[in-house]
A and B are shown apart, each in its own frame.
Chain A
Amino acid sequence: MSRTIVGIDLGTTNSLVAVMMDDRIVVIPDAEGRPLLPSVVALSSAGIQAGYSARARLNDPETTVIYSAKRLMGKSYADVVPELSRLSYPVESVRDLPMIPDKFRNRHLSPPEIGAIVLGELRKRAEMYLNQTVQDAVITVPAYFNDAQRQATKDAGQMAGLNVLRIVNEPTAAALAYGFGSGKDGTFAVYDLGGGTFDFSLLEIRKGIFEVRATNGDTHLGGDDFDQAIVDHWLSEQPALKKAADRYEVRDLLRKEAEKAKIALSGTDSVKISIPSLGFESTLTRKTLNHLVEPLIQRTLSPVHQAMEDAGITVDQVDGVILVGGATRLPRIKEAVSELFGKPIYDTVDPDLVVAEGAAVQGHILSGQRKDLLLLDVTPLSLGIETMGGVMSTLIPRNTTIPTQAKEMFTTFLDGQTRVDIHVLQGERELAKDNRSLARFSLTGIDPMVAGAARIEVTFMIDANGILDVRAVDQKTGQSQGVVVHSSYGLSREDVRDLIKDSFLHAKEDFETRLLIDARTEAQTVLNATRRALQRLDDAIVPPPERAQIQEQMKRLEESMGGQDGRKVREETSRLDQVTQPLAERLMNHSVQEALGGKSVDN
């Protein structure tokens, strides 16, 4: 009998485990028949609980209840600070890592340890159901997870006694659950709206090869926001409630009622709400609900468009849209997605279960050593180095398929320069200071030469796990220097999105600044070269009128460089290029003749 490999969806709100049995996917339920396990852990003097029982203690002051730990996975404390106001449990910084104090046992728990408790619960569940030990697993993560987050997820599995054979992207898993990859080719969109996060990915599937073409999303947008919108609506409807809603329990009660009403409205047009304890009565229609959630649905569209643009895929090229996440049950969402794509919607697999089911399929493939499927991944953020004037020069743009390698030739800016500093950056903004610094190193021992003569080759290599290796080589001396950027330096998922979002907000101003800096830098180089040439060449080669004309244009260029208009600087630079072009051609001819042994020219 071949070994059993389970598939696990370790979610922000809920987790679940599935397995393939006799070519059928089974989502393994708990003893009470429930397929989901809330990703919640409760710490109390009585012990540690996970799942429904932990969630039930959310308002118990004697218990520390930990939820949404996935948001903390693989991040530094500094990374999670913006997250903390949303969490009602304490998170402390221990060696710059976010740790949750367990006051009952006088210790701290890390996010992977919390994940391990949830995974352990799922493992127990699977062992009971299958009546055998379970060790091998495939765990899913959002396509956006960087390597540190993937590694943290792997660590969590290991702590739970699992051998994590593969980390799979959630959208890829969803497609696997629908049986894509064997026979069904095309480009598919995966629209994943969970409890608190939104992810959108574009997948291309051809003859068993799954390629994530682009991915984007919003880490703080999901079904919970829909519930909140309903509560806000009630509060504005009955202002008397507002005072009572200051209390956590009342808010909680209202949210639960809102969630119930929302779910009910997926099947009916109108629902009555009655909370006697608050003296609250109301009716919510589907029409009102649609109106309330419309702005939230609109918010999902911007990541959708961005991913499409990144992938260079138009709506017409999408063959279908897979819906994932409980919030996509809302009829208005299906409608909005249909309107946007006009393509078949895949929603027959339960959107809460589909990712775990896909993970089970992947587990099945791995157990059989099937090689007909291959999952190709991309890097979520652009990588590059800082260049003259503090701008970022990108070597590897985001959404590039990995592994990948990029080489580019750089040069010196000053005459006689003997070292260059290589500052490795990650992010989408124009200016180096606005992006994340990954590493710095210097290349020394460059032969002193005139500016622009040195040739320094910088190579970026990203392996299949997303780990970056940067190397700089002086082509003349062979001097080389490099650094390996470990994933732990990488960014948090929120950072990834914030950086991308930032780059759109500031695109215009960044663009202008960069244009100016680049134009000035280029102008300076052209000026220096021209000046040197004019000094070197006598009147026989540059007749005085031509020299005067060139000098005149040099002056104009210098004047423009004093201003703030990068375009003007560019125009003047290209004019200088044009007036010196005849001279350049003559020089070229001379040197060619010289090389061919013709009449030599004085230098």
Chain B
Amino acid sequence: MSVSHAHADPSLCWNCRETVSDSDICPSCVKIQPIGRKADFFSILGLPVKLLIEPERLTASFHEKSRIFHPDFHQGEESGEQLISLENAALVNQAFKTLKDPFERAAYYLDLTAPHHSPQGQKTSLSPALLMEVMELKESLEDVVQKEGKTKALSRLSENISAAEKQILEEMEAMDKLSAQKQESISIMTNDKRTSLRQKLEYRKYLKSIERDLKGQRDPGPVLKT
């Protein structure tokens, strides 16, 4: 049972009560520390909060943290430590999974750095102009399917997706540069830029869903739950 250290000071080691600040391992007793106390996936992997991250660096961090926390390495230890190891490893896996895909990472970043902390998972609606574009593309693709077949339509669509992704990546790079130059908190970044990126991410999502649709695959998109 995880009856917990609810009021424990997270800057102190759960075991020896020495100061650990934000390190993964207590410097005095060498016990692993719960990383759930860290604010976000970037810091869990020890990475700067940035939109672009080199894949090699990401993987290296993931492996480094896995080596520290994986339950296989904490087999013989007491249950409290095993539980921390389990939760930490799960968080590390989750963080890696979210940050690995640049578009998922961008969406996560926008949520994380939103100036007014909006409820997560808030629905972004596509601007009428982009929505129109999607509709038109969809119609023209249906045309292509009819006349030239599915393969052709899919290759057309994948060109559109690549173009959209290229734009997104460019905007991500520009935003990273801007926040580095200003040496200021990213929350200052103009709302326009954030909105634009959000819109483009949403636009890409629509394209991907058309693609799944064309391939006859399932749509893992948002579902209303009860």
Contact = CB atoms under 8 A, between A and B. Distances in A.
- Chain A interface extent, by class: 35 or more
A461 B88 CA distance: 12
B90 A388 contact: no
B221 to A, nearest CB: 8
Interface string A454-476: 00000001111000000000000
Interface string A383-415: 000011001011001001111111011111110
Interface string B123-154: 00100100100000000000000000000000
B93 A412 contact: no
Nearest to A574: B131
A514 B17 CA distance: 53
Contact of B226 (A371, A394, A406, A412): A412
Contacts of A375: 72
A402 B93 contact: yes
B63 A207 contact: yes
Given A376-B70, A388-B224, A518-B224, A508 B216 contact: yes
The A interface, classified by DSSP as helix, strand, loop or mixed, is mixed
A87 interface: no
A404 B90 contact: yes
A232 interface: no
Contacts of A588: none
Given A374-B70, A374-B72, A410 B226 contact: yes
B94 interface: yes
A521 B224 contact: yes
A543 to B, nearest CB: 21
A515 interface: yes
Contact of A387 (B97, B128, B223): B223
Interface string B86-114: 11011101101100000000000000000
Interface in A49-79: none
Given A374-B72, A394-B220, A514-B219, A209 B66 contact: yes
A385 B64 CA distance: 33
B37 interface: no
Nearest to B217: A507
A403 B73 contact: no
Contact of A206 (B59, B86, B218, B220): B59
A420 B90 contact: no
A401 B223 contact: no
A430 B72 contact: no
Interface string B187-226: 0000000000000000000000000010011111001111
Interface string A234-268: 00000000000000000000000000000000000
B103 to A, nearest CB: 13
- Chain B interface extent, by class: 20 to 34
Interface string B64-89: 00110011110000000000001101
Contact of A511 (B66, B86, B216): B216
A515 B70 CA distance: 39
Contact of B224 (A400, A464, A525, A577): A525
B48 interface: no
Contact of A393 (B87, B216, B225): B225
B55 to A, nearest CB: 11
A418 interface: no
Contact of B97 (A391, A401, A522, A581): A401
A371 B59 contact: no
Nearest to A508: B216
Contacts of A430: 218
A58 B34 CA distance: 57
Contacts of B93: 400-404
Contacts of A464: 70-72, 86, 89
A376 B66 contact: yes
Contacts of B121: 409
B224 A522 contact: yes
Pick the most buried of B93, B131, B224: most chain A CB atoms within 10 A of its CB. Answer: B224
Contacts of B96: 401
Nearest to A458: B225
B63 A511 contact: no
A388 B226 contact: yes
A410 B94 contact: no
A525 B222 CA distance: 14
Contacts of B70: 374, 376, 464
Contacts of B94: 404-406
A518 B87 CA distance: 33
B73 to A, nearest CB: 7
Interface of B: 59, 63, 66-67, 70-73, 86-87, 89-91, 93-94, 96-97, 121, 125, 128, 131, 213, 216-220, 223-226
21 contacts: A371-B67, A374-B70, A376-B70, A387-B225, A387-B226, A394-B220, A404-B90, A405-B87, A410-B225, A412-B226, A413-B224, A413-B226, A461-B90, A462-B90, A464-B70, A507-B216, A510-B218, A515-B219, A518-B224, A521-B223, A578-B128
Nearest 8 CB-CB pairings of A with B: A413-B226, A410-B225, A464-B71, A405-B90, A388-B226, A403-B90, A387-B225, A508-B216
Given A388-B225, A518-B224, 8 more contacts: A206-B63, A209-B66, A387-B224, A404-B93, A404-B94, A408-B225, A511-B218, A525-B224
Interface of A: 206-207, 209, 371, 374-376, 387-388, 391, 393-394, 397, 400-406, 408-414, 417, 420, 430, 461-464, 503, 507-508, 510-511, 514-515, 518, 521-522, 525, 574, 577-578, 581
